[in-house]
Amino acid sequence: MRRPEVRAGAPAFAIDLRVYYADTDAGGVMYHANYLNFFERARTEWLRHLGFELPPMAHAGCMFIVRRMQLRFVRPALLDDLVHVSAQPVLLGRAQITVLQRVQRSAELLVEASVNLACVNPRSLRPTVLPVPLHTRLEKDVRTASEQEEQA
């Protein structure tokens, strides 16, 4: 997976989550699809930390959907592991955000994902621009799509 470039100072947000029985297969290894749930929790808490809660955003006309996701599995998480799940915005467009996400056990990388989120209108499910306050909050830390095109 090609790693997105991160502007110096782009903050990473992280939460710690415990791997429960429900997250694992019969061998005590975290089931691959459950990493998506952990990534979702970290993104939701990241937005909440920035002051943007999902229900009010949806009510105002913005809901996020996963448009594209690339994952790289390095090592498995195991039953009862305490893992660190991060979300770091790396690319900002008018109607989308790309977030680099990682699951780590201490300093050991377990899974890495590049997640592209599209902002859509909850009623029509058609793309819509990011709310101005969110876009303004992110643009100082994240490369914009136009900056990426200029470098290409």
Does residue 74 sit within a domain?
yes
Long-range contacts of 111-114 (CB under 8 A, 24+ apart): 111/35, 111/71, 111/72, 111/73, 111/74, 111/77, 112/1, 112/71, 112/72, 112/74, 113/35, 113/39, 113/69, 113/70, 113/71, 113/72, 114/1, 114/3, 114/4, 114/68, 114/69, 114/70, 114/90
Domain CATH code at residue 40: 3.10.129.10
Does residue 2 sit within a domain?
no
Does residue 35 sit within a domain?
yes
Predicted model pTM: 0.88
Does residue 103 sit within a domain?
yes
Q: Give 134's DSSP letter.
A: H
Does residue 6 sit within a domain?
no
Contact 88, 101 (CB under 8 A): yes
Contact 46, 130 (CB under 8 A): no
Does residue 4 sit within a domain?
no
Identify whether 25 is a catalytic site residue: yes
Does residue 145 sit within a domain?
yes
Number of structural domains the chain divides into = 1
- Parent domain of 49: 13-151
Does residue 7 sit within a domain?
no
| pLDDT tens for each residue of the chain, 152 residues long | 554 444 444 568 999 999 999 999 999 999 999 999 999 999 999 999 999 999 999 999 999 999 999 999 999 999 999 999 999 999 999 999 999 999 999 999 999 999 999 999 999 999 999 999 999 999 887 876 666 556 65
Selecting among 16, 23, 25, 141, the annotated active-site residue is 25
